[in-house]
A and B are shown apart, each in its own frame.
Chain A
Amino acid sequence: MGTATGTQATQSLFAYVSNQNDDSLSVLAIPSNRTIKTIRVGQLPNSAVISPDGARVYTTNRGSNTLSVISTSTNTLIQTVRGVGSEPFATAFAPNRGRIYVPTLYTGSVFVLDSVTNNVLQEIPIGNGLVGIAVSPDESKVYVTSLGTGISIIDANTNKVIETIPATGSWSVRFLPNGTRYYVNNYGTNLVSVYNAGNNALIKRIPVGAAPLGVIVSKNGQRVYVTNSRGSSVSVIDTSTNGVIKTIPVGFVPFGIALTPLNRRAYVTNFGDNTISIIDTTTNSVIETIPTGNNPRGIAITS
């Protein structure tokens, strides 16, 4: 160590996995895939997201109705955020605005937090059954998916809903890195819908597996990966054609999905069988399956 000046130091990567039924967050070292620590968080952690600066992990806890904030340098719980309604479901960041947005399932509101203090600043009532959220890459708008209200678009300057796109049963929403399009999965109709972010027009509906839940876009914008919770598979979409190029069998009830920074591996939480499937994105096949805690759901990987 430290003598070979010509070689680049290998940076450690970590995956954070929320084990819903253990009230815990597992820290996995990549590429050994060993669990190096398990951190107790709030009740029923249903999502895990890393802040854009990489310093913190946020879990939403749909049982204790809190957010747990974990420091990635110490892997310890540093804060518990209350007052985010009944069943917080996801988090999205607008780093330049210093804001965090949290949609809440039963309250049907998006809570706006200060990203430094994590204080709740505002509650925006939206609609019935909010589940997913994404901030547009230019941070001008916040997109919220729901069980019944459609996709609600919030103006990030005014925190008011400016448009609602009819889309019953939409679960997750993710943007291409250049902000031109966004991808929404429809768990009821087994589709991924591609929208033009400029005018919110529907570009294409892509049939995927049964009951898609998780969506992630590769950092180069070339691929979209979707977990099909009732299909026990992951659909790989080529964003140049918006066609499915591969359907990869994974574990039982795949839920969350995260990519390593160079998009070499995709990690999929299998909520139904307490494992993670690790996909080689070059061959689009599962190369390893590792055990987790109970009912793994959210997952995020450091960059």
Chain B
Amino acid sequence: MGLAYVGNQNSSTLTVINTDGDEIVKTIPVGRNPVQVDTSFDRTEVLTANGGERSISVISTRTNQVIEIIRNVTPEPFGAVHADGKLFVPDQFTGNVTVLDAGSGTLIKRIPVVTRILSAVLHPNNQKLYVTSLVHNIWIIDVTTNQLIQSIPKEAIWGLAFTPDGKRFIANHYLSNFAAIYSTCTNRLIGKIPVGIAPIGVAISSNGERAYVTNSRSGSVSVIEIAAKRVIKTIPVGRVPYEVALSPDNRKIYVTNYGGTTVSVIDSKSLRVITTISVGAGPRGISII
């Protein structure tokens, strides 16, 4: 059984969905305005970055209860990535990544990165954190030393996802409406794929063959065949689709429709929406365990 955790920004709740039957298991009140949902390294905890109250809620995936609230993190937390016993919290307005001790929640460091940070994604080797920005470049933080070690010249990128082997990553060029496949080793462009308008979220299947991209202004999801470097299908979903995640068996794709109150569930074989689940208002982040 898989469990999908959906952060409803405007209801300040987390909806838990059983991905077998697509029924809601529980609705958990979290901090104000959760903007992103991440999981702990061992997936025993879910972390919501609460943009409306400077906090991070920690939820046990065993009990589905809030077990901790880390407060006074940063003016507007935009995610919480767990790596090397620490939490890395990007903030788009301060342009910093705040590093906290994951156990105690105490501040370790604030790393000035770049104006308008949009996402922070851990490389599968668990050593490098890739930070994207609305302004320019991809910024790489060494999670062991908490140092900014590299900046890759690129246009503004929103969502980014690695193939499971870590050799490639797909980055959504939000401003120019394409998804790009890059070599992680050389940072070179391998394929430039036109998608829908204003692509935000991206997820890659565990066999590394497909990528799913949310087109926020088109109300659709582009399905990319990575080897062929092309879109094989565009699936209409709800208003302002934002984040996307796959069920553990990869049979279903879950899309948060931030402009409404639903999650669209896509069958990965037929590439059709098979059900639409009513959640809270402004569903934005999603993580599936």
Contacts and interface: CB of A to CB of B under 8 A. Distances in A.
B52 A21 contact: yes
Interface in B69-98: 75-76, 93-95
Interface in A94-142: 106-108, 128-129
Contacts of B75: 252-253, 271-272, 295
B156 A148 contact: yes
Contacts of B93: 211, 229-230, 253, 255, 271-272
Contacts of A229: 93, 115
Interface in B127-158: 134-136, 156
A85 B216 CA distance: 12
A86 interface: yes
Interface in A61-120: 63-65, 85-86, 106-108
Interface residues of A, number: 32
Given A86-B239, A187-B115, A147 B217 contact: no
A285 interface: no
A272 B95 CA distance: 12
B136 to A, nearest CB: 7
B274 interface: no
B217 A108 contact: yes
Contacts, number: 100
Nearest to A230: B95
A107 B174 contact: no
B121 interface: no
Given A86-B239, A271-B93, A169 B134 contact: yes
Contacts of A128: 174-175, 177, 197-198, 217
Given A107-B240, A210-B115, A295-B76, A21 B175 contact: no
Contact of B175 (A86, A147, A271): A147
Interface string A266-303: 00000110000000000000000000001100000000
A20 B281 CA distance: 18
A20 B258 contact: no
Contacts of A64: 10, 281
Interface string B164-201: 00000000001111000000000000000000011000
Contacts of B239: 86
Nearest to B135: A188
A106 B216 contact: yes
Contacts of B198: 106, 108, 128-129
B217 A43 contact: no
Contact of B94 (A43, A108, A147, A230): A230
Interface string A177-199: 00000000001100000000000
A208 to B, nearest CB: 13
Contacts of B240: 86, 106-107
A148 B135 contact: no
B175 A148 contact: yes
A44 interface: yes
Contact of A211 (B95, B177, B258): B95
B123 interface: no
Given A187-B116, A230-B115, A20 B175 contact: no
B190 to A, nearest CB: 23
Contacts of B176: 148
B282 A63 contact: yes
Contacts of A33: none
A108 B94 CA distance: 24
A200 interface: no
B259 interface: yes
B200 to A, nearest CB: 9
B210 interface: no
A239 interface: no
Nearest to A187: B115
B202 to A, nearest CB: 16
A216 to B, nearest CB: 19
Contact of A147 (B52, B134, B136, B259): B134
A85 B240 CA distance: 10
Contacts of A252: 75, 94
B252 interface: no
A261 B261 CA distance: 43
A86 B259 contact: yes
Contact of A44 (B33, B174, B175, B177): B33
A63 to B, nearest CB: 5
Contacts of B9: 63
> Could you say which of A20, A129, A294 has the most chain B C-beta atoms within 10 Å of its C-beta?
A129
Interface in B263-288: 281-282
A255 B76 CA distance: 13
Contacts of B33: 21, 43-44, 63
Interface of A: 20-21, 43-44, 63-65, 85-86, 106-108, 128-129, 147-149, 168-169, 187-188, 210-211, 229-230, 252-253, 255, 271-272, 294-295
7 contacts: A43-B52, A63-B282, A86-B258, A107-B259, A128-B177, A253-B93, A253-B94
Given A106-B258, A107-B217, A148-B174, 15 more contacts: A63-B282, A65-B259, A65-B282, A108-B197, A128-B174, A128-B217, A147-B156, A148-B156, A149-B175, A168-B156, A169-B116, A169-B156, A188-B116, A188-B134, A253-B93
